[in-house]
């Protein structure tokens, strides 16, 4: 698998961190909604080797199967230069998918590490229970995106903005900041990104991967909402302002990472042209803003909804997402994943019948 750019961190990355490991002796207590989510987390475990049909292949020259009009530089001066070169277009499509899935992969490893931290540091036993199931989910997601990237054929190092947000989240010693940085912000953005690509993708293998991972991620974001809504009810004004400041900075980091500078550099395109065009492209603006559909209503729900946060969201054009029905989106994620399961099972049964008939005919 080709690496499109050298990783400045080398083969690994260490984040110095100090936090307390917290025990709870209240074994018979727990919040019913959180324990219900824990039960669902246990019931919904799955094996990526068995649930996903890895015999499906993808075309490295168009891994997502999406129209070129959806690429962020479609119509730019750079596009005018490469648009008639099919070999270069295949390379651009491959790198676009490789960059997207690489950032998903790095984010999932960040979630794996952060959720293990939550198990250790959160004070409530019901939260430890659920975070333990999520840790297994995240390991499965790392495995799954690694396999998918093997077929795409191009990988990218972690994006600097995503790395900085993970750095801030992991360095903070307060247990709730792991929730806020990962469960609400990073996972919330990823969930919306997965959903957008799931709907646009015309290739079955990545569509399956995105749908099945989303089924897990919806529970993870719900976990962050439930835990922080309770914890943040008693924040002082200063504590609330501090966390709102973190939310604002994190949202700008996540928005800026979508400029994909490192991808344009790796492709040896005109970086300024690509970034400026993508920044102002209506299609790409819609895609970028749509990534906040899961974050904005969650931030409002947990109570970090001061004037500064609302002004920033208004400036970014995403304030209206505050009214999004998160529970409805979660239910939709479940239905889509289960429908793909059913379709795959039906296909397997048809193949089995056809094989049996073929054997009978040959006898």
| CATH code for the domain of 164 | 1.20.1260.10
Give the model's pLDDT for residue 48.
96
The yes-or-no verdict on residue 7 having pLDDT over 60 is yes
Angle at alpha carbon of residue 113, lines to 288 and 147, rounded to 5°: 70
- Contact predicate 143/112, CB 8 Å: no
Q: Extract the tokens encoding 191.
A: 């969930």
The DSSP-derived string for 235-299 is: --HHHHHHHHHHHHHHHHHHHHHTT-HHHHHHHT--HHHHHHHHHH-HHHHHHHHHTTTTHHHHH
pLDDT above 90 coverage of the chain, percent: 72
Q: What is the pLDDT of residue 96?
A: 95
What proportions of the chain, in percent to the nearest 5, are helix, strand and coil?
75, 0, 25
- Binned at pLDDT 50, 70 and 90, residue 281 comes out as confident
Instruction: Indicate whether 25 belongs to any domain.
Output: no
Q: Does the residue 14 lie in any domain?
A: no
Confidence of residue 265 (pLDDT cuts 50, 70, 90): very high
23 within a domain of the structure (yes/no): no
Burial of 308 (0-12, 13-18, 19+ CB in 10 A): middle
Q: Is residue 21 assigned to a domain?
A: no
In the structure, what pLDDT confidence band is assigned to residue 352 with cuts at 50, 70 and 90? low
How far is 158 from 149, CA to CA, in rounded Å?
Answer: 14
Answer yes or no: is 15 within a domain: no
DSSP class of residue 158?
P
Distance CA 141, CA 88 (A): 31
pLDDT beyond 60 at 340: yes
Q: Pick the more confident residue, 58 or 286.
A: 58
Q: Is residue 348's pLDDT more than 70?
A: no
Closest CA to 26 of 118, 122, 132: 122
Q: Does the structure show a pLDDT above 90 at 149?
A: yes
Banded pLDDT at 97 (limits 50, 70, 90): very high
Query: Which of 34-38, 300-304, 348-352: highest mean pLDDT?
Result: 300-304
Residue 194, pLDDT score? 93
Question: pLDDT at position 282, please?
Answer: 81
Given the structure tokens 């077929």, which residue do they identify? Answer: 151
Domain count, the chain: 1
Q: Mean pLDDT score of the chain, rounded to an integer? A: 90
pLDDT score, position 11? 79
* 27 assigned to some structural domain: no
Q: How confident is the model at residue 117 (pLDDT cuts 50, 70, 90)?
A: very high
Strand 2-3 relative to strand 154-155: parallel, antiparallel, unpaired?
A: parallel
CB of 220 within 8 A of CB of 190?
Answer: no
What domain range includes position 309? 2-7+32-362
Asked if the structure places residue 59 within a domain, the reply is yes
Query: Where does the pLDDT of residue 62 fall: very low under 50, low under 70, confident under 90, or very high at 90 and above?
Result: very high
**314-320 mean pLDDT:** 93
What is the pTM assigned to this prediction? 0.90
pLDDT of 359 over the 60 cut: no
pLDDT of residue 361: 56
Per mean pLDDT, which range of 142-146, 175-179, 253-257 is the poorest? Answer: 253-257
| 126 domain residue, yes or no | yes
- pLDDT, residue 24, reads 92
| Confidence band for 345, pLDDT divided at 50, 70 and 90 | confident
> Measuring CA to CA, how many Å separate 207 from each of 64, 139, 198, 212?
8, 19, 5, 9
């Amino acid at each position: 698998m080709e690496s499109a750019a050298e990783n400045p961190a080398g083969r690994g990355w260490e984040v110095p961190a100090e936090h307390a490991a917290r025990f709870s002796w209240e074994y018979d207590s727990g919040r019913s909604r959180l324990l219900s989510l824990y039960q669902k987390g246990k019931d919904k475990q799955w094996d990526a080797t068995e649930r996903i049909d890895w015999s499906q292949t993808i075309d490295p020259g168009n891994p997502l199967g999406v129209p070129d009009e959806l690429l962020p530089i479609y119509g730019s001066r750079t596009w005018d230069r490469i648009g008639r070169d099919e070999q270069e277009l295949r390379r651009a499509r491959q790198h676009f998918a490789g960059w997207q899935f690489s950032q998903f992969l790095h984010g999932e490893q960040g979630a794996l590490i952060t959720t293990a931290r939550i198990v250790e540091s959160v004070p409530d036993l019901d939260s430890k229970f659920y975070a333990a199931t999520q840790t297994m989910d995240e390991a499965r997601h790392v495995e799954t995106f690694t396999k998918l990237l093997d077929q795409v054929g191009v990988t990218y190092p972690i994006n600097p903005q995503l790395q900085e947000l993970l750095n801030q989240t992991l360095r903070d010693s307060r247990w709730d900041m792991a929730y806020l940085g990962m469960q609400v912000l990073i996972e919330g953005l990823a969930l919306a990104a997965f959903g957008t690509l799931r709907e646009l993708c015309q290739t079955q293998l990545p569509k399956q991967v995105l749908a099945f991972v989303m089924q897990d991620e919806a529970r993870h974001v719900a976990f962050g909402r439930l835990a922080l809504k309770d914890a943040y009810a008693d924040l002082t004004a200063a504590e609330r302002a501090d966390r709102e400041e973190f939310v604002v900075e994190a949202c700008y980091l996540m928005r800026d990472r979508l400029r994909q500078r490192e991808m344009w550099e790796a492709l040896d395109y005109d970086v300024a042209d690509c970034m400026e065009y993508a920044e102002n492209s209506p299609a790409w603006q819609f895609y970028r803003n749509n990534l906040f559909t899961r974050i904005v209503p969650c931030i409002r729900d947990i109570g970090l909804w001061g004037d500064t946060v609302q002004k920033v969201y208004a400036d970014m054009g995403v304030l209206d997402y505050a009214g999004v029905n998160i529970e409805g989106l979660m239910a939709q994620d479940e239905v889509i994943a289960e429908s793909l399961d059913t379709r795959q099972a039906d296909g397997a049964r048809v193949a089995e019948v056809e094989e049996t008939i073929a054997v009978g005919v040959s006898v």
